[in-house]
Amino acid sequence: MSLPEGVAIDGGGVAAACCAHLLGQAGVATRWRMRERRGVPAIMLSDPARALLRDALARPDLFAENRRIARRIVAWGGQEPVALPHDAVMLGAGDLDFAPEQLPGHAEAPGPAARLIIRTDIAAEEPMHRFGDRQGEAARVQWLRPGEADACFVESVDDGWLFLIPSTAETGWLLAIGAPCDVLLGQSRHVRARIAPPDTAPARFDTTPRLLDRMATTGMIACGSAAMAFDPICGDGTALAVRQAILASAIACALSERGFDGGDEEEMTAHYRAMMVAAMRRHLRLSSEFYATGGTGPWWRAQQRAIEDGFAALSAVLERTPPPRFALDGFRLIRRELAA
């Protein structure tokens, strides 16, 4: 049975754009109600994440002209800086707030008859699992060492960590995670020497890893950074949004082909929830390595405890979850027995 009402996308951002494009390419009737979202002032997008985004949007030239970051200089746990090779591009505010061309029903409000809603717009009061409490600040700064403008710089200090990203040869963005920016700069030996002090008040934002309580139910799949967010220490947030969009779109396509059979939908949304829990668990395991070695003060110990507690809680959830019954074959969702 073919359902003309198809799928509604409610929200904006990378996940919404990827869903709209993938569903359109698959011929699924899609209506997209775009909503403005608060973007970040700057982001560093790794080459693997950029490749994933280019594939999902069929845009092989995406961000090909953006400024490249070739090195990552890390001063962690009180050690002297170590330079490592890095492959990434710099994005500015709004670079990720795009809409693919030729979208059906562009900016049209989703009607009540839509059988599945993919949500990237999540209200702040909706229940969320949080794994710690890591507040951040972002400030535009003057870069004092133009010869290092091809490198980002990461430094851990007593009450948090600093991330310095060049946007031009003269300017960059400073992210401060933990205590306020001026406090962390006062504790810094390496980042502070590379910039002039910020001359404007920094913008505050939440960097705590978090997961929406209801990631998927009958008739709804949530994706994007408002529904699930990683700590920026791992630099995988954009790739997460794209991977969510690929899976959500594959589920929507499979359900559309099957006529939105209730049994199929329950199985597939359960699969989506399990994949998101597993992704967050992997992220906590990875970020635990950074927080275990970044510092020994109260802030570091509190974040490490939160990570350990969250990892244990998610592990318990996965132990009660049946093995995955589906797998992705490119952008298609298939049953695992067919993938063997």
Per-residue pLDDT tens for 288-299? 999 999 999 999
The rounded distance, in Å, linking the Cα atoms of 140 and 142 is 7
pLDDT of the residue at 35: 73
With tokens 């970051």, the residue in question is 69
Please choose, from the candidates 182, 5, 152, 171, the residue with its C-alpha nearest in 3D space to the C-alpha of residue 75. Answer: 152
Per-residue pLDDT tens over the stretch 102-132? 444 444 444 445 688 999 988 888 999 999 9
Per-residue pLDDT tens over the stretch 74-96? 999 999 999 999 999 988 767 78
pLDDT of the residue at 95: 78
315 neighbors 237 (Cβ within 8 angstroms): no
pLDDT of the residue at 83: 94
Q: Angle formed by the axes of helices 14-25 and 237-258, to 10°? A: 30
In degrees and rounded to multiples of 5, residue 116 shows phi and psi of -140, 130
pLDDT of the residue at 164: 94
Q: For the whole model, what pTM was predicted?
A: 0.90
The rounded distance, in Å, linking the Cα atoms of 161 and 158 is 8
For residue 113, give both structure tokens: 């008859």
Please choose, from the candidates 44, 33, 51, 39, the residue with its C-alpha nearest in 3D space to the C-alpha of residue 14. Answer: 39
